[in-house]
A and B are shown apart, each in its own frame.
Chain A
Amino acid sequence: MAEIRLDRVTKTFGANKALDDLSLSIADGEFFVLLGPTGAGKTTTLRLIAGLEAPTDGSVWIGGQDVGDWSAAERDVALVFQYYSLYPRYTVYQNLAFPLKSPVRNYSPSDIDERVRKAANTLRIDHLLDRKTDKLSGGEMQRVSIGRAIVREPTAFLMDEPLSNLDAKLRESLRAELKDLQMKLGATFLFVTHDQVEAMTMGDRIGVLNNGRVVQVGTPHDIYNRPRDVFVAGFVGSPAMNLLDGELSGGHLAAMAGRLQLPYDGASTNTGPVTVGIRSEDIRVGPDESTDAIVHDVENHGVEKIVTLRVDDTLFRATVPAKIGVDIDSNVKFSWNADKLHCFDRNSGVNLDHAGAPG
Chain B
Amino acid sequence: MAEIKLQDIEKYFGDNYVIRKLNLTIENKEFVVLLGPSGCGKTTTLRAIAGLEEIDSGDILIDGKPVQDLRAGDRDIAFVFQLFALYPHLTAYDNIAFPLRATRESKASVDEKVRAVARALQIEDLLSRRPSALSGGDMQRVAIGRALVRRPKAMLMDEPIGALDAKLREEMRTELKRLHLENDQTTVYVTHDQVEAMSLADRIAIMNEGVLQQVGTPSEVYDNPANLFVAQFVGSPVMNITPANLQSADGATKVAVGQDGVAFDFPSAIEPQLSGAHSDLMLGVRPEGVLLAHNKTAGHVAVEAHIIEPLGAYDIVDLKIGNAFLRARTASGFVDRPGDMVWARIDPAQTHFFNSLSGDAIHVRLDE
A binding-site residues for B, Cβ under 8 Å: 37-38, 167-169, 172-173, 175-176, 179-180, 183, 194-197, 200-202, 220-221, 224-225, 234-240, 279-281, 296-297, 299-303, 306, 308, 315, 319, 322, 328
Contacts and interface: CB of A to CB of B under 8 A. Distances in A.
Contact of A37 (B165, B192, B306, B312): B165
Contact of B288 (A183, A201, A239, A303): A303
Interface of B: 37, 165-167, 170, 173-174, 177-178, 181, 192-195, 198-200, 218-219, 222-223, 232-238, 286, 288, 306-307, 309-313, 316, 318, 329, 332-333, 338
A176 B165 CA distance: 24
Chain A to chain B: the 7 pairs with minimum beta-carbon distance, closest first: A201-B309, A299-B199, A302-B222, A224-B312, A300-B218, A281-B313, A297-B174
Contacts of A202: 309
B321 to A, nearest CB: 14
B311 A300 contact: no
A200 B311 contact: yes
19 contacts: A168-B193, A168-B236, A169-B238, A172-B237, A175-B309, A180-B306, A200-B311, A220-B310, A221-B332, A221-B333, A234-B167, A238-B170, A280-B313, A296-B178, A301-B195, A301-B198, A302-B286, A306-B199, A315-B174
A221 B310 contact: yes
Contact of A200 (B166, B223, B310): B310
Contacts of A221: 310, 332-333
Contacts of B307: 176, 179-180, 183
A83 B237 CA distance: 25
B174 A197 contact: no
A345 to B, nearest CB: 22
Given A183-B338, A201-B316, A234-B167, A299 B173 contact: yes
Contacts of B218: 300, 302
Which of A194, A220, A225, A296 is the most central at the interface, judged by chain B CB atoms within 10 Å of its CB?
Answer: A220
B337 to A, nearest CB: 12
A299 B196 CA distance: 9
A196 B312 CA distance: 10
Nearest to B235: A302
B127 to A, nearest CB: 21
A301 B310 contact: no
B166 A238 contact: yes
A102 to B, nearest CB: 34
Contacts of B288: 303
A297 B198 contact: no
Contacts of B200: 299
B136 to A, nearest CB: 11
B234 A302 contact: yes
A8 to B, nearest CB: 30
A74 B181 CA distance: 61
B347 to A, nearest CB: 13
B312 A200 contact: yes
A195 B218 CA distance: 25
Nearest to A179: B307
Given A167-B37, A176-B318, A299-B177, 8 more contacts: A224-B310, A236-B312, A240-B170, A297-B178, A299-B198, A299-B200, A301-B198, A303-B235
B216 to A, nearest CB: 12
Contact of A300 (B192, B198, B286): B198
A52 B263 CA distance: 53
Which of B170, B173, B195, B309 is the most central at the interface, judged by chain A CB atoms within 10 Å of its CB?
Answer: B309
A224 B309 CA distance: 13
B349 to A, nearest CB: 12
Contact of B198 (A38, A194, A238, A302): A302
Contacts of A167: 37, 192
A306 to B, nearest CB: 8
B310 A237 contact: no
Given A37-B165, A167-B37, A172-B236, A301 B199 contact: yes
Nearest to B306: A180
Nearest to A297: B174
Nearest to B339: A183
Nearest to A177: B307
Nearest to A167: B37
Nearest to B217: A300
A279 B238 contact: no
Contacts of A195: 166
Nearest to A170: B238
B296 to A, nearest CB: 27
Contacts of B234: 302
A168 B191 CA distance: 13
A125 to B, nearest CB: 18
A325 B333 CA distance: 29
Contacts of A225: 312
A306 B198 CA distance: 11
B313 A319 contact: yes
B142 to A, nearest CB: 22
A7 to B, nearest CB: 30
A300 B167 CA distance: 18
Contacts of A322: 219
